[in-house]
Amino acid sequence: MSAQGTPKAADKTAGMSKPTPKGAWTVTFLLFLFMLVNFADKIVVGLAGVPIMTELKLEPEQFGLLGSSFFFLFSISAIVVGFIVNKVPTRWVLLTLAVIWALTQFPMVGTVSFTTLVICRVALGAGEGPAASVAMHAIYKWFPDEKRTLPTAILSQGSAFGVILAVPALNWVIVNHSWHYAFGALGIVGLIWVAAWLALGKEGPLEDTQFLAANEPRIPYLQLLTSRTFIGCVAATFGAYWALSLGLTWFTPFIVKGLGFSQSQAGFISILPWVFGATIVILTGWIAQVMMARGSTTRIARGVFGSAPLVLGGLILATMPHVQGAGLQIALLVVGTGLCGAIYVVCPPMLGEFTPASQRGAVLAIYGALYTLSGIIAPAVMGTVIQRAGNMVDGYMTGFTINAVIMVGSGLLGLLLLWPNTERARLTGTPVSQPAALKGVVSPT
């Protein structure tokens, strides 16, 4: 019998880090661009908020409804498609979603009513609802568990760079031409990504979903969805997404109407939360992976490290109504909301720790569907608060205070509930300490 057949050698092999397949980083880059387009599509309504409200004569409550309408079918679509990707290759699902995004932009190029704008945003939301979970599921077919935190962070950066790169370009179109053409430009960019994905996109080789469904142990969905880590991820990310959806819809109108900046100035200021958030996301992904390589449990490296910034960010944001000066208020808003980015990096890998691969697409989709419900509520709440306040600035400050309270509460729930390593032991029977695959990992890649 060869040395490789001995139990000792087998244990050693099991403890080694699995290699990353060739082509993994190419697909990661394409999915990064996928998320970039995704968030550029999301931000355009907020960026063009003042021109849209002026042209269509919208009240704050109506504009808040427009911001919320994007999320009306977002969660339902995410769940439905999440189960589909357990059976259908992610390559074709991603392609279909991107085509929907592109086509829903073009009706806005001409004269458009408020009703048409709402319908197109609802349709776009249905197409974008599954995007993050499907992209995450796709990328996990290219990286073993111990190497997933960094690609997750890179994928998450698509959202930040979608804003950082798109805001100046789209704002230039809005200022020099029309907000209508900004939507058309996004439609063209979406079709370009579709062409690139058709040429270069591939399915990951690490997991054969049909084989896994037939051979790996399955865990009842009720157990997965009622586990404390799943509930903790939903609760923590709910608060983070409340802040994000306000940023997508109300940040630029706040800069223009609340603080008195011009549309051109607001375009550049609107980038700041995303630049800071991008830094937080990359640092979180890298540091968490280093901590795990040095022996930290995923409870600490992912659960605590992802939740604590939410609490800190909420406390910072809570001080905003009590300071004077536009510059300081913007700084507190940027830092407070930007710290939320940490939770997006750590929750999908935590769920992937104890969810069988053949069920992972659905679990990630349900997770996304639940936490993005805050996207329906937050913009509408802000619009109502602004319209009913004594003056517009007071309304914004009340809305940001509500946001701060929700962030602190969700972060505390994350600290209390996120125990992925013990969840894995309970549901799958693996040791509590660390997965065998993590032993022997020297550095993140």
CA angle 426, 429, 434 (to 5 degrees): 90
CA distance 387 to 382: 9
Give pLDDT, residue 345: 86
**Would you say 167 and 267 are in contact if contact means Cβ atoms under 8 Å apart?**
yes
CA angle 225, 228, 231 (to 5 degrees): 60
pTM, 2 dp: 0.74
Give pLDDT, residue 83: 84
End-to-end CA distance of the chain: 35
Task: Count the neighbouring beta carbons within 10 Å of the beta carbon of residue 195.
Answer: 10
What does the DSSP assignment read for 35-69?
HHHHHHHHHHHHHTHHHHHHHHT--HHHHHHHHHH
Half-sphere exposure of 269 (CA within 13 A, CB side): 23
CA 339 from chain centre, in angstroms, equals: 13
**Would you say 104 and 123 are in contact if contact means Cβ atoms under 8 Å apart?**
yes
For the chain, 445 residues long, the average pLDDT of each consecutive 10-residue run is: 39 51 86 90 86 90 89 88 85 94 91 91 91 86 78 77 81 90 93 94 71 69 94 96 90 89 85 86 85 90 94 96 93 94 89 86 86 91 90 92 97 96 83 43 27
Give pLDDT, residue 18: 64
The token pair at 31 is 């999915």
Give pLDDT, residue 17: 56
Per the rule left: phi > 0, alpha: psi between -120 and 50, beta: everything else, 298 is: alpha
Give pLDDT, residue 213: 52
Q: What is residue 259's DSSP assignment?
A: T
Residue burial 363-402, b: 16+ Cβ < 10 Å; e: rest: bbbbbbbbbbbbbbebbbbbbbbbeebeeebebbbbbbbb
Give pLDDT, residue 214: 55
Give pLDDT, residue 289: 82
CA distance 384 to 268: 27
Instruction: Report all structural domains of the chain as residue ranges with CATH numbers, in order of start.
Output: 22-203+219-438 (1.20.1250.20)
**Lookup result for tokens 């880590």:** 229
